[in-house]
Amino acid sequence: MSALEPRDADVAPRPGARAVAHVAHDDDTKGSVLDPAHRALSIGIVSVVLLIAFEATAVGTAMPVAARELNGVSVYAFAFSAYFTTSLFAMVLAGQWSDRSGPLAPLTAGISAFAAGLLLSGTAGAMWLFILGRAVQGLGGGLVIVALYVIVGRAYAEHLRPAIMAAFAASWVVPSVVGPLAAGTVTEHLGWRWVFVGIPALVVFPLALALPAIRRTASGPADPTAPVAPWDRRRIRLALGISAGAALLQYGGQELRWLSLLPAAVGVALLVPAVRGLLPHGTWRAARGLPSVVLLRGIAAGAFVAAESFVPLMLVTQRGLSPTLAGFSLAAGGLTWALGSWIQARPWTEPYRERLVVLGMVLVALSIAAAPSVLITAVPVWVLAAVWGLGCLGMGAVIASTSVLLMKLSAPEEVGANSAALQISDGLSNVLLLAAGGAAFAALGGGAVGHAVSSSAATGSHPAAFAAVFLPMAGVAAVGAWVATRLHGTEARA
């Protein structure tokens, strides 16, 4: 799927740290992301994002049919949350791995695991195997996203980072338009499995183009003259705790039985100390500066993803759309997301960055709140496409702005760890809000729509289950609009 307001105090590298050749210098105001020095790298890493975008849009379109055929509609949310749960551990691992030896190895390992998970899901004969494949994908995705942030922080000067983040967002445009249509067509004529097993073929081009460029510009530790720091085993244990805790909490929320309170309680007991140890101090009270940046990222991503995950299922079961049309109804969101990211990259937005992010979160909240209006049959389906496009416009500005500010507040040798914190907030919020949304969905009879998925008519009988997902997520996004007023400050970094 980043505020550029001037900092009160720029963050300097730790004493003794020296800039190295592949770390971009902030006083360099020349060049572009497509100049000869950056062209191969930019095309390569944007191609990696393009691969992730095709996966997200195509898999989201095929997911309702896969869940029906594998008799797994009642655990539909697990297919999404499994990805985010395992990615939490991988993000912490990737942060340390990248800071110690550079982002090349975690990026390669992540892309390989991502492809392996797609193949496992695509060949699954049972829902639990399908969910396992999504979990393997999550391991790969967590490694990849943190490695990409480290590459951007090292290889691009500060004035180029908004542009490369905008390019990341723009790379979602074609997949958002073509992905749902292609995935829906393949699902209807060849079967949903081909959507999963076909995507790994896209791995070859990003690997061939990006890896040599990364080796030249961003490989190795940030300071090759400094001793290699040992692995922080405490953070690894906390990462395992946050992943296990999120999984247990998701399971407890989905089961809706008194006995499920026990794994849910264990999950909370694991999550609380892990989150406190892995996120910047003051995150949960929205302390100004980096803690609020990290918190906002989680609020925005979690609320939006939890809501969007149920949009295709709602359109298929409640309005009788085919998988192709259900996915295609969200295609405009790719264009508006890229537009929002492009706007935040314009120099004239710098003095108004915080206001832009606040406005973005307001658009997200209104979009999510308006989505369940299509449960009323008199409301045309295109209304959802329109309001979702506005939400994506806001998300494009918010997500890119938080990414840019994180790198602005991080010393070169800390980009990996701080990027991991940002992505943990993103992923953990996805898991928790998907768990909450999935529990509300199941509690109001949402798991009983398996037959409706296969019907061409609007035979779903539990529209309230969908409203119970969207309306609370709109409230969460509204809280994010307040947090967005606290991005500018001097709080200490993690």
From first to last of its 494 residues, what are the pLDDT tens digits of the chain?
433 333 333 333 333 333 333 444 444 456 678 887 788 788 888 888 887 877 777 777 777 788 888 887 767 767 777 887 888 889 888 888 888 888 888 988 998 899 899 999 989 888 889 989 999 998 998 898 888 888 888 888 878 888 888 888 777 777 766 777 777 778 777 888 888 887 777 777 777 777 777 877 776 666 666 666 677 888 888 888 888 888 787 776 665 566 667 877 888 888 888 888 888 888 888 888 888 999 999 999 999 988 988 888 888 888 878 766 776 677 677 788 888 988 988 888 878 878 899 999 999 999 999 999 988 888 888 889 899 999 999 999 999 889 888 877 776 667 777 778 887 888 788 778 877 887 788 777 665 433 333 333 334 447 888 888 999 999 999 999 999 998 876 444 43
CA distance 73 to 325: 20
- Give the per-residue pLDDT at 477: 95
Of 169, 453, 460, the residue nearest 339 (C-alpha): 169
- Give the per-residue pLDDT at 2: 35
Q: List C-alpha distances in Å: 435 to 224, 251, 314, 316, 449.
A: 43, 8, 17, 21, 18
Tell me, what amino acid is at 310? F
- Give the per-residue pLDDT at 453: 39
- Give the per-residue pLDDT at 457: 37
pTM confidence score? 0.67
CB count within 10 Å of CB 266 equals 15
Let me know: does 99 contact 222? Beta carbons within 8 Å.
yes
Q: List C-alpha distances in Å: 370 to 307, 340, 385, 460, 472.
A: 11, 20, 11, 20, 12
- Give the per-residue pLDDT at 222: 62
Of 161, 151, 222, 169, the residue nearest 28 (C-alpha): 161
CA distance 238 to 257: 28
Inter-axis angle of helices 463-483 and 311-319, nearest 10 = 150
Of 141, 138, 122, the residue nearest 130 (C-alpha): 122
- Give the per-residue pLDDT at 450: 37
- Give the per-residue pLDDT at 19: 35
CA distance 210 to 104: 9
Let me know: does 429 contact 299? Beta carbons within 8 Å.
yes
CB count within 10 Å of CB 393 equals 25
- Give the per-residue pLDDT at 277: 84
